[in-house]
């Protein structure tokens, strides 16, 4: 019984929250179109959170994610203004992010710097570059219509953004749970020294995790720009805390205290559902933050209690 609660309690909480909002507001919240809309609303947060999940799998933190989201959005518009074609511009942005991820991962693993500090520094550098590129202003104009379609509209009955989430989540799940590199990443996160002594190479594997996180954050910057048609140098600011909140919520689901992709999806969904539902009920955004924070704390405490009881 307790094992069941531990594994599926967080998922049950998500379902309970959905049912509660559906009863409170059957027409607006509970409508199929709103529920589909929530999957679109959670996409950007969830993709950043999936990147964070991969970094947490090796037992590290990446505090540069929010900066990379802003950077990705600004750089792609900057390249458009310079006349670079959209596919090339997007690839360039992802490549630049990969470099930042590689730097963070290398510093953290090779020199054993605390990832908090290393990625805070890298994120600060990226923030500076971002402001330099856009001279502190919001960038708009020169954004091709075809590019904007990757972040809006629908495909096969689902919002385009939702497809992005499905694709990214599937890839990340395969990487972490199905192929060899995932075993290595979790082994490092579980016991770095034991993994090293068993022949797992710490530096390249850790770098890989940080590169995935950076590339996914940059992807979110691109999608965000495509969706709203402009780029703001602080556009990614809100993603850091909520992404890690989603990962921590997800660590209470399915597995015992390990960051995992399905769990992160549930975590991101909880945050998105609460946001959406409270907005529909007309609750002020301040109160929404208070409620979201309280729920995360409660989830972690419940898990703690469950663990001690076991």
CA-to-CA distance for 186 and 54, rounded, in angstroms?
Answer: 9
Q: Is 81 in the site for other proteins (CB under 8 A)?
A: no
- Residue 198 to residue 211: CA distance in whole angstroms: 24
- Does position 308 interact with other proteins (CB under 8 A)? The reply is no
Residues 231-260 that bind other proteins (CB under 8 A): 256-258
Only one of the segments 44-52, 115-123, 177-185, 244-252 lies at the binding site for other proteins (rule: CB under 8 A); that segment is 177-185
Smaller CB separation from other proteins, 45 or 176:
176
- If one asks whether residue 4 binds other proteins (CB under 8 A), the answer comes out as no
Cβ-based nearer residue to other proteins, 87 or 196: 196
Q: Which helix (H) or strand (E) holds 26?
A: none
Nearer to other proteins (CB atom), residue 69 or residue 176: 176
Q: How far is residue 299's CA from residue 250's CA, in Å, rounded to a whole number?
A: 10
| Residue 135 in the binding site for other proteins (CB under 8 A) | no
Is residue 82 within the footprint of other proteins (CB under 8 A)?
Answer: no
Which CA distances in Å does 37 have to 178, 235, 249, 310? 30, 21, 22, 39
- 3 contributes a contact to other proteins by CB under 8 A: no
Residue closer to other proteins, measured from CB, 72 or 182:
182
Decide if 289 contacts 279 (C-beta within 8 A). no
Using the rule CB under 8 A, which residue among 186, 208, 239, 244 binds other proteins?
186
- Please choose, out of 70-78, 113-121, 150-158, 184-192, the segment that lies near other proteins by the rule CB under 8 A: 184-192
- Phi, psi dihedral angles at 187 (to 5 degrees): -65, -40
Task: Answer for the pair 305, 6: CB distance below 8 angstroms, yes or no.
Answer: no
Site membership for other proteins, residue 275 (CB under 8 A) = no
DSSP 153: S
Question: What are the phi and psi torsion angles at 210 (to 5°)?
Answer: -70, -35
Binding region for other proteins (CB under 8 A) out of 40-48, 157-165, 191-199, 212-220: 191-199
Sorted by sequence, the CB contacts under 8 Å of residue 271 that are 6+ apart come out as 42, 45, 242, 245, 246, 249, 292
Binding site residues, other proteins, CB under 8 A: 178-184, 186-187, 189-191, 193-201, 256-258
């Amino acid at each position: 019984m307790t094992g069941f609660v531990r594994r599926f309690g967080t998922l049950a909480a998500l379902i309970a929250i959905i049912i509660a909002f559906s009863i409170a507001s059957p027409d607006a919240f509970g409508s199929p179109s709103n529920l589909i809309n929530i999957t679109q609303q959670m996409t950007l947060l969830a993709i950043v959170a999936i990147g964070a999940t991969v970094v947490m799998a090796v037992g590290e933190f990446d505090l540069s994610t929010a900066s990379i989201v802003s950077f990705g959005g600004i750089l792609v518009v900057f390249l458009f203004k310079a006349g670079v074609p959209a596919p090339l511009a997007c690839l360039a942005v992802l490549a630049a992010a990969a470099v930042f991820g590689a730097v963070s991962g290398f510093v953290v693993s090779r020199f054993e710097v605390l990832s908090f500090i290393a990625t805070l520094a890298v994120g600060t550098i990226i923030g500076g570059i971002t402001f330099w590129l856009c001279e502190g202003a919001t960038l708009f104009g020169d954004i091709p219509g075809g590019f904007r379609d990757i972040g809006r509209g629908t495909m096969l009955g689902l919002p385009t953004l939702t497809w992005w989430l499905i694709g990214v989540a599937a890839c990340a799940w395969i990487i972490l749970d199905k192929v060899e590199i995932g075993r290595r990443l979790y082994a490092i996160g579980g016991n770095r020294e034991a993994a090293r002594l068993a022949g797992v190479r710490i530096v390249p594997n850790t770098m890989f995790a940080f590169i995935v996180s950076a590339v996914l954050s940059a992807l979110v910057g691109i999608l965000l720009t495509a969706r709203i048609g402009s780029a703001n140098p602080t556009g990614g600011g809100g993603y850091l805390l909520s992404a890690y909140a989603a990962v921590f919520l997800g660590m209470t689901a399915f597995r015992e205290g390990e960051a995992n992709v399905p769990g992160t999806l549930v975590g991101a969904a909880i945050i998105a559902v609460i946001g959406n539902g409270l907005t529909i009920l007309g609750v002020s955004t301040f109160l929404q933050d208070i409620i979201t924070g309280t729920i995360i704390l409660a989830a972690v405490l419940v898990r703690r209690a469950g663990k001690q009881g076991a």
